[in-house]
């Protein structure tokens, strides 16, 4: 799953749905994963003064990341030795450049770890047909 700022941001119209989905993962016995780049992106967004006014204080954002990391069934995933091959294939197939490379990086990490479904409100992930993208804010599928 891509960590959702919507679950964190109580002012978001999707807060309740996103928070409930994250809470259900955290309280279940099912394994789930967060790609490391998603944690980096979450932190950079919620602490950015041009995105949130006011931005989250550093200690609040860090506390949230650490709360996710305390979940016994969460796995943090990152690049493996086969990362470049997977990423290159996604970049070439989608003719991706610029900011879309970040999404391809997340998709490649998920695919390397056998993740078949990515939870994200970002529609750009539909560019990767080998990875099912689902918006958890729209409710259960």
Q: What is the pLDDT of residues 75-114, one digit of tens each?
A: 999 999 999 999 999 999 999 999 999 999 999 999 999 9
Tens digit of pLDDT at every position of the chain (141 positions): 445 554 566 777 777 887 788 888 888 888 999 999 999 999 999 999 999 889 999 999 999 999 889 999 999 999 999 999 999 999 999 999 999 999 999 999 999 999 989 988 888 998 999 999 988 877 655
Q: Which domain holds residue 13?
A: 5-138
If DSSP states are collapsed to H, E and C, what string results for the chain? CCCCHHHHCCCCCCHHHHHHHHHHHHHCCCCEEEEHHHHHHHHHHHCCCCCCCCCCCHHHHHHHHHHHHCCCCEEEECCCCCHHHHHHHHHHHHCCCCCHHHHHHHHHHHHHCCCCEEECCCHHHHHCCCCEEECHHHCCC
CATH of the domain at 30: 3.40.50.1010
**What is the pLDDT, as a whole number, of residue 140?**
58
Count of domains observed in the chain: 1
């Amino acid at each position: 799953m891509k960590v959702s700022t919507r679950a964190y941001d109580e002012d978001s119209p999707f807060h309740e749905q996103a928070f409930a989905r994250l809470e259900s993962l955290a309280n279940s016995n099912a394994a789930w994963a967060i790609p490391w780049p998603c944690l980096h992106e979450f932190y950079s967004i919620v602490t950015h003064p041009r995105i949130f006014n006011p931005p989250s204080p550093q200690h609040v954002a860090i506390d949230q990341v650490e709360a996710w990391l305390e979940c016994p069934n969460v796995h943090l995933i990152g690049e493996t030795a086969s990362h470049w091959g997977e990423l290159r294939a996604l970049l070439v197939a989608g003719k991706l450049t610029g900011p879309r490379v970040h999404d391809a990086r997340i998709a490649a990490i998920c695919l390397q770890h056998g993740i078949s479904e990515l939870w994200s409100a970002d529609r750009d992930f539909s560019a990767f047909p080998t990875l099912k993208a689902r918006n958890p804010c729209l409710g259960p599928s």
